[in-house]
Copies of this chain bind each other. A is one copy, B any other.
Amino acid sequence: MSPLLEKINGPADLDALSVGELAQLAEEMREFITHSVSQTGGHLASNLGVVEMTIALHRAFDFTKDRLLWDVGHQCYAHKVLTGRRDDFNKLRQEDGLSGFPCPAESEYDLFSVGHAGTSISTALGMALGAQHRKTDEKIVALVGDASIVNGLSFEALNNLCLAKRQLLIVLNDNSMAIDVTQGAMAKFLSKVRLSHTYEDFRKTTNRILEHLPLVGKRMEEAVENFKRTLRMANTPSRLFESMNIPYFGPVDGHDIGSMIELFEALSHLDTPAILHVYTRKGKGYDPADDNPCKYHSTGPFEVNGVSEKATAAKRSFTSAFGDAITAVGETDERVVAITAAMPDGTGLGKFREKFPDRYYDVGIAESVAIDMAAGLAKQGLRPVVCIYSTFLQRGIDQIFQEISLQNLPVTFCIDRAGAVGNDGPTHHGFYDLGYLRMLPNLTVAAPADEYELKAALELATRGDKPFAIRYPKDAVPAIPENNIPVQPGKSVRLRSGNSEFAVITVGPILKEAMAAAEELEKDGIAVTVVNARFVKPLDEDIIELFRQGKTVLLAEDNSTACGFGSAVIEHALQIAEQSQDEMLRNSIGKAVLLGAPDAFIPAAARAKQLGWMRVGAEQIAETVKTLKFGAQKADKSLKA
């Protein structure tokens, strides 16, 4: 029963509701979101926390002309519900369905496709400057979480906020949690602010001031100045923002719709950037999520009223395999310390953290400093392991270049979510790491195909004295018994030798697909050779041997073909060809086929589907070989436009 929600087809419909009804609407929306996510999976806890804030924002502002910018953005469900997308929630995060993040292609209410942290204040600043140039008066609102505001990008934007000589409201959504508990000085500072008041105290103050707030003009400014002064007296910790010349208001209870609407409206009349500190509760309204916001940060389908989740026998993931591997390595090597950027669970570090709490660091959503800290630790003789998703590691490429590669320091990068990520979609795919890592000198880059290889690579990496990167996807670890051959730096393994002219060389668990393709092709009388390269850098000379034999080589990877593994093999083969002038090698190079992610953004869908679009599923590999052999079919038949 959602009598109010059913009447809301757009933000304008909120105007008809009283504050009491809006509170009721919030309850209905919370129920709708919980139910919906229980069916499809998705981000839950953070979305439950911002329902009232989202309603208040849409009531106070008119986002058909005003501008709302999300940070990370997985907390945009209430926003999507209010902006005409309620009926699409049955296909949340699915192929051709609703994105789990803001998405301009879906709605004009979404301005940027986001997913990485710290962008809202920066892009809002740009939009404010744009409005200054265009002399338009739309209001600009940047939402940012307490986890995102500690990112260097947010700070750089705050430091440059003075460029905007107009309204720009930053709403700090403070739930004291990143995906895990927020870390660092900013978090301590914000918690002091929280502790300095009961909400009751604050409400009394707020209401008293708001009673006297006129709505426009000069007196408005004075009133706001008084308001600020009062808050400032009450809230000495506002100093941090004040010392950066950013007027600070709050904290306000993020579940009190009436107060928020009043504050948003009042603050929309400021002609300067300002920050409003809103306190919310992650998981509010759904007890299991409220009690365990980490678990319900991002979830698969679950039973709403039952105690247990839907029993799905989860397959062992690369993430879990890594978690066990680093714990084992940590036991035998005291020098091993682990660093994460707000993703202890997502990167599988839970067990290591529990076992070695003083050898574990979480720097918050601050990938750049995680890498430089590792450089310092390595310089002191330790063996830091930096655990960051492929897409987020893009924030640290310059640090990998200067502090790790150039200094040639023994830092290991364990890169989860490398390759297609499934339902999270374009902001979260890890398609570029093989490119941005392999072009840097001194690095070893490994892409293990299974758990055996992952563990061995981690041992090699931490025993060594050079930079080392290990990348693996968001997927189950496949069973590839034939791959059980000791891992040596830069050495590949041949798992199948076939007498046909075809060889498939893979890195990572795409090996499993190649093996299945080979089996399939065998039925058609095509015996293909299958090689697991294991390393993208350095490359095994044995791989080149296949070219020398005149094979048609397929290079398959779960990465962009531009700059990827295949590209590396070809570059290497060309170099040898130039030196050796080997005719067979030369002729073979031109027959090579690159299989991997195309030069386009791959939408959310099941990972298996995405691998198909990239032509690296077993079926597509087999099909490509057949097309090469028999012609006829279009090679890119299965490629999505």
Cβ of A294 within 8 Å of any chain B Cβ, yes or no, is no
User: Interface size on A (CB < 8 Å)?
Assistant: 124
Cβ of A199 within 8 Å of any chain B Cβ, yes or no, is no
Q: In the docked arrangement, what's the CA distance between A354 and B124, Å? A: 26
- Report yes or no: A150 in contact with B156, Cβ–Cβ below 8 A: yes
Q: How far is the CB of A334 from chain B (nearest CB, A)?
A: 8
Cβ of A600 within 8 Å of any chain B Cβ, yes or no, is yes
- Report yes or no: B376 in contact with A125, Cβ–Cβ below 8 A: yes
Q: How far is the CB of A245 from chain B (nearest CB, A)?
A: 5
Q: A155-B155, A185-B244, A590-B574 are in contact. Are A372 and B123 (CB under 8 A)?
A: yes
Q: From A432, which residue of chain B is reached at the shortest CB distance?
A: B439
- Report yes or no: A403 in contact with B112, Cβ–Cβ below 8 A: yes
CB-contact partner of A574 in B186, B570, B636, under 8 A = B570
Chain B residue numbers with a CB within 8 Å of A570 are: 567, 570-571, 574
- Report yes or no: A372 in contact with B126, Cβ–Cβ below 8 A: yes
Q: In the docked arrangement, what's the CA distance between A490 and B581, Å? A: 32
- Report yes or no: B380 in contact with A134, Cβ–Cβ below 8 A: yes
Q: In the docked arrangement, what's the CA distance between A438 and B372, Å? A: 27
Residues 557-609 of A at the B interface (beta carbon under 8 Å): 560-563, 566-568, 570-571, 573-575, 577-579, 581, 585-594, 599-601
CB-contact partner of A571 in B127, B379, B562, under 8 A = B562
Chain B residue numbers with a CB within 8 Å of A588 are: 590
- Report yes or no: A184 in contact with B155, Cβ–Cβ below 8 A: no
Q: In the docked arrangement, what's the CA distance between A435 and B435, Å? A: 7
Q: In the docked arrangement, what's the CA distance between A391 and B368, Å? A: 16
Stretch at the interface among A214-222, A359-367, A412-420, A480-488: A359-367
Residues 163-179 of A at the B interface (beta carbon under 8 Å): 163
- Report yes or no: B125 in contact with A373, Cβ–Cβ below 8 A: yes
Q: In the docked arrangement, what's the CA distance between A146 and B600, Å? A: 41
- Report yes or no: A579 in contact with B160, Cβ–Cβ below 8 A: no
Stretch at the interface among A114-122, A283-291, A322-330, A457-465: A114-122
Chain B residue numbers with a CB within 8 Å of A563 are: 435, 438-439, 563, 567
CB-contact partner of A377 in B126, B395, B435, under 8 A = B126
- Report yes or no: A150 in contact with B159, Cβ–Cβ below 8 A: yes
Instruction: Name the prevailing secondary structure of the A interface residues.
Output: helix
- Report yes or no: A372 in contact with B240, Cβ–Cβ below 8 A: no
Chain B residue numbers with a CB within 8 Å of A578 are: 593, 628, 635
Q: How far is the CB of A357 from chain B (nearest CB, A)?
A: 13
- Report yes or no: B160 in contact with A156, Cβ–Cβ below 8 A: no
Cβ of A401 within 8 Å of any chain B Cβ, yes or no, is yes
- Report yes or no: B594 in contact with A574, Cβ–Cβ below 8 A: yes
Q: In the docked arrangement, what's the CA distance between A561 and B566, Å? A: 14
- Report yes or no: A403 in contact with B123, Cβ–Cβ below 8 A: yes
Q: In the docked arrangement, what's the CA distance between A574 and B590, Å? A: 6
Q: A126-B374, A127-B380, A591-B577 are in contact. Are A186 and B163 (CB under 8 A)?
A: no
Residues 56-88 of A at the B interface (beta carbon under 8 Å): none
Q: How far is the CB of A468 from chain B (nearest CB, A)?
A: 16
Chain B residue numbers with a CB within 8 Å of A150 are: 156, 159
Q: In the docked arrangement, what's the CA distance between A407 and B123, Å? A: 12
A134, A185, A631, most chain B CB atoms within 10 A: A185
Q: In the docked arrangement, what's the CA distance between A590 and B552, Å? A: 13
Cβ of A337 within 8 Å of any chain B Cβ, yes or no, is yes
Mask of A607-641 contacts with B, CB within 8 angstroms, 1/0? 00000000000000000000010010001100000
- Report yes or no: B376 in contact with A122, Cβ–Cβ below 8 A: yes
CB-contact partner of A379 in B123, B237, B244, B375, under 8 A = B123
Mask of A133-145 contacts with B, CB within 8 angstroms, 1/0? 1100000000000
Q: From A113, which residue of chain B is reached at the shortest CB distance?
A: B406
Q: A131-B380, A436-B436, A562-B439 are in contact. Are A403 and B119 (CB under 8 A)?
A: yes
Q: Which 7 A-B pairs have the closest CB atoms?
A: A126-B376, A152-B152, A130-B380, A122-B372, A586-B590, A589-B590, A394-B398
10 contacts between A and B (CB under 8 A): A125-B372, A153-B369, A160-B369, A162-B185, A397-B398, A406-B427, A435-B436, A435-B439, A562-B571, A577-B590
